[in-house]
Structure 1
Amino acid sequence: MTSTNIEIILILKDFLQQVQNDPELRSHFASSQSLTKRRKLPLDRIAYLVISLLKRSLSVELEDFFSTHYPTEGCVTKAAFCKQRQKLHYSFFALWNAVLVNSFYSLYGKRAKRWKGFRLVAIDGSTSYLVNKPEVFDHFGVQVNQSTSVVMGRIMTARDVLNGVNICSQLHPINTSEQHIAYQWIPNLERDMLAIYDRGFPSFSAMYLHLEQEAPVNFVMRCKNSFNKEVSCFSQSACPDLLIEIKATNSAISELGKQGYKVTSETTVKVRLIKVLLPDGKTEILITSLLDARKYPLHLFGDLYFKRWGIETEYGMQKNYMQLELLSGYKVNTILQDFHASIFISNLQHILSIPAQTKSEKKHKDRIYSYQINRNIAIGNLKQHLINLFKRKDTGALIRKIEKLFAKYIEPVRPDRSFLRIVKGRRTKGKYQTWTNYKRAI
């Protein structure tokens, strides 16, 4: 696995150098005259700085960067950096992440984890606090409540929850519907994916779009007991598993018509309804396209749907450990650079930790609990070596060093833990708060 990770880093480095050295390729992300090698801040240095997750004062970050990696050169000013980074479009980091994800699936191959042959892809949204600047306000919009309005963005992510990889992640204006983003993503899902959705996503349109693709994509969706008449009757019955056909609604006919599908009130989709009993005694209802009860028996679905929780913990990691909402600039392009850089580093850290995690599981297999890499500390340690990972030629030696650091800081996984959520009043003044169970690592 270490050798595979070395190859992945080489692919990432090669992509960066191709973009920097090929004017035609570079023109997709910057003007042909921008970010050349003759400057102190060519494309590769801009990329290094952005993926370094700049959370301190820019002047401090720049001084640290140049004194550590380019000690013979003078440090640039933060104004020069801010001006130069605007020449690099944020899509570069989104594409760099796509190169990383594709390299992972290509090189890990059969070693990538699957459920019944499927990649489990949880699709869900979240929100991100932004800054109240005119350009940001105009692009992303505001979330309004009874007392105030806050500039926010809508995050949408498709995450492979078994392999810990964010396949796609985007930041949209806050008024963008999560459901409509999901509709746009469905044609890009692959046949070996099993899409898992929370109860905000089920609709006839969503189910139809999954099943009517040239290569149909299977799904599992949690729905409300009142989703439609068939689901309401099923929820009140003693039946735990039922095949039904759902007819198109008027809103679905309209929505699908806009996308070029000819759907009538007689159009149906065949799905399976499943009841899952929760630990608190409540019952949740799932709608799935996995119709074969022999191949996919009822007892599998409770654990299957729970795996969706991996996308929720990823959002928590992004916002808390990686400080996603602590921005290094106040332009729309800068904010999107920071966002995609954060997704890139999250994926990179998780992929680099696979060998250390595998060794840890073997080493502690006889203990009461299984153990996992402490991601907060791992991200902090990765940041210390990140630039050298791309600059140095002895990539293998550095990757092995990083793996040892990851393996050094592990924590037990205690299953089935739950705690009563107690909301405490906290002071609102001051920039920092002390938490007993968390200290930032970057």
Structure 2
Amino acid sequence: FLIRVKTSHGFSAVTSFVGSGKRSIITELSPKQNRSYHDKSYTKESRLKIRLVRVDLPSGEVEVLMSTLLDSKKYPSKMFKDLYFLRWGIETFYDELKNKLKVEHFTGYSENTIRQDFMCAIFISNLQSVMVNDMREELVMQNLEKKYDYKVNNNLSYGFLKNRILELLSESQPLETIFRELQELFLKNTIPIRNNRTNQRNKDKFRARVKPKVTKNQKDAI
């Protein structure tokens, strides 16, 4: 595994590692000693050997990654920043499922209802991806003379799909017609891709349940 861990108020081994100034160390983690382990597959004597890697961000912030990739020759410290960044596409997809497609807003409590709602969200996501991929070349040509490359605003495109999904399923109109009308809406609602842009992590937003501010093109579409 490879995860990011807190640099303070977390594992004591991590706090010590940050203070040492080292780039990478191998250490062991042990479970809490003041609890019962009768229902666990491990005991209080168990130990997990892990590797800690320090990553210095452009903002000056220190990030610590924890991994079970212990071989420093096979997995040098310099590769961990890029390796951890590979999870970004997965995390943004979870963000879309939870915050744009509202996958956790179930319409019932039974197992079948939850499965059905979840698969509906996946279906909408897959359908949107297919439609966007089909118009990728057209999107590039539309923005050739602009400063940035552009991509479809996923949030708005889900909203457009929501408004036409019954027509798609009932085939009240030719599918090609509906697809083309939706793609034209997608092309009119794009956002620039600004590479290597970083935003300072706002830790306070996780401490207080404050309603976040959203721009007009990021309001809930579903």
Tell me if TM exceeds 0.5: yes
Which amino acid in structure 1 is aligned with residue 15 of structure 2? S
Deviation at 1:266, TM superposition (A): 4.5
Corresponding residue number in structure 1 for 2:148: 369
Decide whether aligned partners of structure 1 residues 280 and 252 sit closer, same or farther in structure 2, where only a CA change above 3 A counts: farther
> Contact 1:389–1:398 (CA<8 Å) still a contact in 2?
no
Pick aligned residue for 1:258 from 34, 39, 54? 39
Which amino acid in structure 1 is aligned with residue 194 of structure 2? R
Inter-partner Cα distance in structure 2 for 1:308 and 1:264? 31
**Post-superposition CA distance 1:285-316 (Å, at most 9, x none):** 11012234344432333344345455367536
Which amino acid in structure 2 is aligned with residue 382 of structure 1? L
Inter-partner Cα distance in structure 1 for 2:146 and 2:77? 31
Inter-partner Cα distance in structure 2 for 1:238 and 1:434? 39
* 1:315 lines up with 2:98 in the alignment: no
Deviation at 1:412, TM superposition (A): 0.6
TM-score by length of 2: 0.65
Corresponding residue number in structure 1 for 2:64: 285
Count of aligned positions: 208
Inter-partner Cα distance in structure 1 for 2:220 and 2:11? 46
**3-state SS in 2 of match to 1:275:** strand
Which amino acid in structure 2 is aligned with residue 409 of structure 1? N
Inter-partner Cα distance in structure 2 for 1:352 and 1:250? 54
How is 1:22-421 mapped onto 2 (pairs within 5 angstroms)?
Answer: 219-225=1-7, 226-250=9-33, 254=37, 258-259=39-40, 261=41, 263-306=42-85, 308=87, 311=91, 314-315=94-95, 318-319=98-99, 321-322=100-101, 332-333=109-110, 336=114, 340=118, 341-357=120-136, 360=139, 368-392=147-171, 397=176, 401=180, 402-403=182-183, 405-415=185-195, 416=197, 418=199
Decide whether aligned partners of structure 1 residues 244 and 363 sit closer, same or farther in structure 2, where only a CA change above 3 A counts: farther
Deviation at 1:240, TM superposition (A): 0.8
Which amino acid in structure 2 is aligned with residue 275 of structure 1? R
**3-state SS in 1 of match to 2:186:** helix
Which amino acid in structure 2 is aligned with residue 234 of structure 1? F
Which amino acid in structure 2 is aligned with residue 258 of structure 1? D
Decide whether aligned partners of structure 1 residues 366 and 233 sit closer, same or farther in structure 2, where only a CA change above 3 A counts: farther
How is 1:9-24 mapped onto 2 (pairs within 5 angstroms)?
Answer: none
Deviation at 1:362, TM superposition (A): 7.7
Which structure 2 segments of 5+ residues have no match?
Answer: 206-210
**3-state SS in 2 of match to 1:258:** coil
Which amino acid in structure 2 is aligned with residue 332 of structure 1? Y
Deviation at 1:352, TM superposition (A): 3.8
Decide whether aligned partners of structure 1 residues 362 and 308 sit closer, same or farther in structure 2, where only a CA change above 3 A counts: farther
Percent sequence identity over matched residues? Answer: 28
**3-state SS in 1 of match to 2:135:** helix
Inter-partner Cα distance in structure 2 for 1:404 and 1:252? 60
**3-state SS in 1 of match to 2:63:** strand
Superposition RMSD in Å? 4.5
Which structure 1 segments of 5+ residues have no match?
Answer: 1-218
Inter-partner Cα distance in structure 2 for 1:434 and 1:222? 27
**3-state SS in 2 of match to 1:372:** strand
TM-score by length of 1: 0.37
Which amino acid in structure 2 is aligned with residue 240 of structure 1? R
> Contact 2:168–2:175 (CA<8 Å) still a contact in 1?
no
**3-state SS in 2 of match to 1:287:** strand
Decide whether aligned partners of structure 1 residues 266 and 398 sit closer, same or farther in structure 2, where only a CA change above 3 A counts: farther
Inter-partner Cα distance in structure 2 for 1:264 and 1:301? 31
